[in-house]
Structure 1
Amino acid sequence: MSSFEPLVFSGVQPSGNLTLGNYLGAIRNFVALQGSYKCIYCVVDLHAITVYQEPKSLIEATRSVAAAYLAAGIDPSKNIVFNQSRVHQHSELAWIFNCVARMGWLSRMTQFKEKAGKDRENASAGLFAYPALMAADILLYRATHVPVGDDQKQHLEFSRDVAQKFNNDYSERIGELGLGVPIAMGNETVNGYFPLTEPLIEGPATRVMSLRDGTKKMSKSDPSDLSRINLTDTSDDIAKKIRKAKTDPEALPSEAEGLEDRPEAANLVGIYAALAGRTRDDVLREFGGQQFSTFKPALADLAIEQLAPIADEMRRLMADTSHIDSILANGAERASVMAEKTMIDVKRIIGLSF
Structure 2
Amino acid sequence: MGKKIFSGVQPTGNLHLGNYLGAIKNFVTLNNDTENECIFCVVDLHAITVKQDSKELRNNIRETVATFIASGINPKKSIIFNQSQVSAHAEGAWILSCVARMGWLNRMTQFKEKAGKDKEKASIGLYSYPVLMASDILLYDATHVPVGDDQKQHLELCRDIAQKFNNDFEVDNFLQVPEPLIQKEFSRIMSLKDGSKKMSKSELSDLSRINLTDSKDQIINKIKKAKTDPMPMPNGLQELDERPEAKNLLGIYASLTNTTLEKSIENFYGKNFSEFKESLSEILVNKIEPISIEIKKLLADQKYLDQILLEGVEKANLIASKKIQKIKEIVGF
Bin of the TM-score, shorter chain as denominator length: over 0.9
Asked if 1:226 is matched to 2:192, the reply is no
What's 1:15 paired with? Answer: 12
SS at match of 1:92: helix
What's 2:319 paired with? Answer: 338
SS at match of 1:11: strand
Shift in Å, 1:43: 0.6
> 2:2 touches 2:36 (CA, 8 Å); kept in 1?
no
CA distance in 2, matches of 1:257, 1:30: 31
CA distance in 2, matches of 1:140, 1:210: 36
What's 2:288 paired with? Answer: 307
Segment drifting more, 162-171 vs 43-52: 162-171
CA distance in 2, matches of 1:206, 1:79: 27
Residue 25 of structure 1 aligns with an amino acid whose one-letter code is G
CA displacement 1:251-307 (0-9 Å, x = unmatched): 222333331222111111110011111111111111012221221121111101100
CA distance in 2, matches of 1:289, 1:38: 45
TM-score calculated relative to the size of structure 2: 0.96
What's 1:262 paired with? Answer: 243
TM-score calculated relative to the size of structure 1: 0.91
CA distance in 2, matches of 1:214, 1:253: 15
Asked if 1:200 is matched to 2:169, the reply is no
Shift in Å, 1:347: 0.9
CA distance in 1, matches of 2:110, 2:261: 28
CA distance in 2, matches of 1:153, 1:217: 17
CA distance in 2, matches of 1:227, 1:57: 22
CA displacement 1:157-208 (0-9 Å, x = unmatched): 111111111112112xx2xxxxxxxxxxxxxxxx121122111111433521
SS at match of 1:264: helix
Residue 262 of structure 2 aligns with an amino acid whose one-letter code is D
> 1:272 touches 1:299 (CA, 8 Å); kept in 2?
yes
CA distance in 2, matches of 1:202, 1:164: 25
SS at match of 1:192: coil
- CA 1:82–1:206 in structure 2 vs 1: closer, same or farther (change >3 Å)? farther
What's 2:40 paired with? Answer: 41
Asked if 1:213 is matched to 2:194, the reply is yes
What's 2:278 paired with? Answer: 297
SS at match of 1:229: coil
CA distance in 2, matches of 1:265, 1:272: 11
Cα RMSD, aligned residues only: 1.4
Asked if 1:282 is matched to 2:263, the reply is yes
- CA 1:5–1:204 in structure 2 vs 1: closer, same or farther (change >3 Å)? closer
What's 1:325 paired with? Answer: 306
Q: Percent identity?
A: 56
1:245 aligns with one of 219, 222, 226? 226
SS at match of 2:5: strand
CA distance in 2, matches of 1:270, 1:162: 35
SS at match of 2:234: coil
> 2:16 touches 2:201 (CA, 8 Å); kept in 1?
yes
What's 1:148 paired with? Answer: 147
CA displacement 1:303-337 (0-9 Å, x = unmatched): 01100000000000001111111010000000001
- CA 1:101–1:5 in structure 2 vs 1: closer, same or farther (change >3 Å)? farther
SS at match of 1:233: coil
SS at match of 1:274: helix
Residue 11 of structure 1 aligns with an amino acid whose one-letter code is G
Asked if 1:138 is matched to 2:119, the reply is no
5+ residue gaps, structure 2: none
CA distance in 2, matches of 1:240, 1:45: 33
CA distance in 1, matches of 2:261, 2:148: 18
What's 2:28 paired with? Answer: 31
SS at match of 2:98: helix
